[in-house]
Amino acid sequence: MIENYYKLVVFGDSYADSGPPESKFYNESYFHRLKQFYLDDIYIQRMQGQDTGVDVDQILNFENLGKAGASSYWSYYNFKKCLDDLNYTIENAIMTFTDTQRLPITCQELAGFSWKNLFRIDKEHVPMHTEVNNPSNSKSKTFWDSVMSSTNKASIHNSPTVGGFTASDILSMWNLIFEDNYAGADLAESISIWSLKKSIELAKQRNVNLVIIIPFEYSLGEYLGKEYDPEIINNHMVITGLDKVSHMETKTYYSKDIVKEVKWKGMHVDTRCNHLCSTNNKVLAELIWKGFNGQTGLYDLSEQPGLNFDEIEDYAELIYK
């Protein structure tokens, strides 16, 4: 038996994170569905008298290293760590490459705060010129103050310290490096794109069957460029549109949608695994399964057959305008 052999490992942000094990929806994630696909496939092969070629103990090795709020660099960092430092042999991997402008924080305790950078909101709502980069500028100060005093204020300031620094300290330091959160957007984007390229190189070197997920529609062009690299699409399954499906479920995707608020049942945060309802996680798992069995190309989850947009009532109450 190969030591540290893994049939499947998942890396990424909340679109990879299956959520807390105590959640009643925990087994609905595409990760858990893929595990079951593998076990069912092995069972059928053995019933047919076929040699699966893998020890039964190895088949049961699956791991999910997704972390809600983390950056794309977090995906690459853990992928490389598993292969180089932990000596994993990974047969199949899924990596989600999230918003390109998240902070490349790798500390386990603080990685989930990467999304707090909110570069994209800066670009949409604040003019990009020299005056804005001045920390004393009122718009700049107001923006950063609003980030640090958001609904997650308590968790930011009371999070575990690392080397004597809190999450608030880490974010503030990144803010200074990126010239008050504006001029460094290109640097964060470059690190994210580099993370995808290096992950693909590493997967090829270590013979890992890699499926790539780019959940946010607006990030697709940033990662792949206006003209898609044929090598990526020809050698890997690349899946987009997860965020679109997620918002279509909550009826908050289109501008004409009339939902004012989504109240998650029993919690203040999204209770869906991977931000998708049960059926749509299954559709995604079935698509990924094809990728693990040799299918390549670019696929939009929102265009896949069999999606369901009525199950949201099991997870949340929609408050209409």
Average pLDDT over residues 266-284: 91
Residues of the chain with pLDDT > 70, as a percent, come to 70
- Ranked by mean pLDDT, the top range of 91-95, 159-163, 222-226 is 91-95
Largest CA-CA distance found in the chain, in angstroms, rounded:
73
Q: What is the mean pLDDT of residues 261-284?
A: 91
HEC letters along the chain: CCCCEEEEEEEECCCCCCCCCCCCCHHHCHHHHHHHHHHHHHHHHHHCCCCCCCCHHHHCCEEEEECCCCCHHHHHHHHHHHHHHCCCEEEEEEEECCCCCCCCCCCCCCHHHHHHHCHHHHHHHCCCCHHHHCCCCHHHHHHHHHHHCCCCHHHHHCCCCECCECHHHHHHHHHHHCHHHHCCHHHHHHHHHHHHHHHHHHHHHCCCEEEEEECCHHHHHHHHCCCCCHHHHHHCEEEECHHHHHHHHCCCCCCCCCEEEEEECCCCCCCCHHHCCHHHHHHHHHHHHHHHCCCCEEEEHHHCCCCCCCHHHHCEEEEEC
Q: What's the pLDDT band for 313 if we cut at 50, 70, 90?
A: very high
Residue 120's pLDDT is what? 43
What pLDDT, on a 0 to 100 scale, did the predictor assign at position 267? 76
More confident residue, 268 or 130: 268
Q: Which of 189-198, 241-250, 261-270, 275-284 has the lowest mean pLDDT?
A: 261-270
Distance CA 278, CA 119 (A): 31
pLDDT of residue 254: 80
Averaged pLDDT, 121-138 = 39
Q: What is the pLDDT of residues 97-108, one digit of tens each?
A: 998 888 888 877
pTM of the model as a whole: 0.81
Mean of pLDDT values over 73-92: 95
pLDDT band at residue 133 using 50, 70 and 90 as cut-offs: very low
Confirm if 145 and 153 have CB atoms less than 8 A apart.
Answer: no
Tens digit of pLDDT for each residue in 32-67? 999 888 877 655 454 455 555 555 545 568 999 999
Domain extent listing, the chain: 5-249+273-308
Superfamily for the 5-249+273-308 domain: SGNH hydrolase (3.40.50.1110)
pLDDT value of residue 147: 44
For residue 299, pLDDT beyond 90: yes
Across 284-305, average pLDDT = 96
Given this model, what pLDDT does residue 228 score? 67
